[in-house]
Structure 1
Amino acid sequence: MEQRVSLITMGARDINVLAQFYEALGWKRVDSPDGVIAFDLIGQTLGLYPLAALAEEIGVPVDALGRGAMTLAYNVREKGDVAPLLGRAKAAGAQVLKPASDVFWGGHHGYFADPEGHIWEVAWNPFSPLGPDGAFQWNGAE
């Protein structure tokens, strides 16, 4: 198995509200005929799918999907980009869980939850700068 994540699918109770939230952050959506709303990312895609349909497809009750103890991260190019992005997320309907702050390891970050509770970290990591195309590079590796 090659090391990659191709598609991140978020189950959504209200797919249109969630899509509008990500559009308010400036993302461009790509609709597909199968009921998925997709946002192309660098090397991956974020897909929004009706929660009930996702549970049915997997063959489990909606309650079995639960809430994973997971965060998604969006890294920025400069330390000063963290707070404004958290503000933009809040204006679009997010709940800021942790305001922009310095981290013990030398970075700067904050957290928000989208309208359906998916948790995002907005981070600046001086040890993992973004590549020219915006791709994240762990410890500066390309």
Structure 2
Amino acid sequence: MSSSGDGVGQRVSLITLAVKDVQASARFYDALGWQRATGPDDPEEVVAYNLIGQTLGLYSKAMLAEDLGIPEDAIGGFSGMTLAYNVATKEEVAPVLELAVQAGGRILKPAGEIFWGGYIGYFCDPDGHVWEVAFNPYSPLGEDGAFRWGGY
């Protein structure tokens, strides 16, 4: 329920990525320049990064499968979902993609114009999670870098 009592609020608070090796995946995101939010007493199987309005968590694929009560091989592959990293200008798209490659990711689609008027590219992290890096001229970022459909 939302705090206003009017039902379920529209939010995504925590995005958890199931990964084969939490520490190896964390090194990838560390290399992107992200700062871990994980404390010194947190288990090695969990790493978190506080984002603007959400947290991205890395969690052992084996442990997530155990939590869900399903075989580990039932988790994986492209799910039809992408994570988006929106930037303020089209000139910022290619450098983010290059940084992802330097960190151990793989380009799926190089930076370029897209039919709806934006500029995008795609990469996947070492575990195959697909990220879109996008400049959307119709949704300018907030002063703090936050994204909102249609802008602020």
Number of the residue aligned with 1:28? 35
Number of the residue aligned with 1:46? 56
Q: Which runs of 4+ in 1 moved over 2 A?
A: none
User: What is the 5 A alignment of 1:113-132?
Assistant: 113-132=124-143
SS of 2:150's equivalent?
helix
Does 1:82 pair with 2:82? no
Does 1:103 pair with 2:94? no
What is the RMSD computed on CA atoms of the aligned residues? 1.0
Cα separation, 1, equivalents of 2:49 and 2:25: 12
Say which one has the larger Rg: 2
How far does residue 30 in structure 1 lie from its aligned partner after superposition? Answer: 2.0
Consecutive unaligned residues in structure 2, runs of 5 or more: 1-7
Consecutive unaligned residues in structure 1, runs of 5 or more: none
Number of the residue aligned with 2:123? 112
Alignment partner for residue 56 of structure 1, among 41, 62, 66?
66
Number of the residue aligned with 1:71? 82
Cα separation, 2, equivalents of 1:20 and 1:66: 20
Q: Which has the higher helix share?
A: 1
The percent identity for this pair of structures is 58
Task: Give the TM-score normalised by the residue count of structure 2.
Answer: 0.89
How far does residue 66 in structure 1 lie from its aligned partner after superposition? Answer: 3.1
How far does residue 110 in structure 1 lie from its aligned partner after superposition? Answer: 0.2
Q: Deviations over 1:25-83 (max 9, x none)?
A: 00001225243100001110000011100100111111222331110000001110000
Cα separation, 1, equivalents of 2:76 and 2:110: 26
AA at the equivalent of 1:41: L
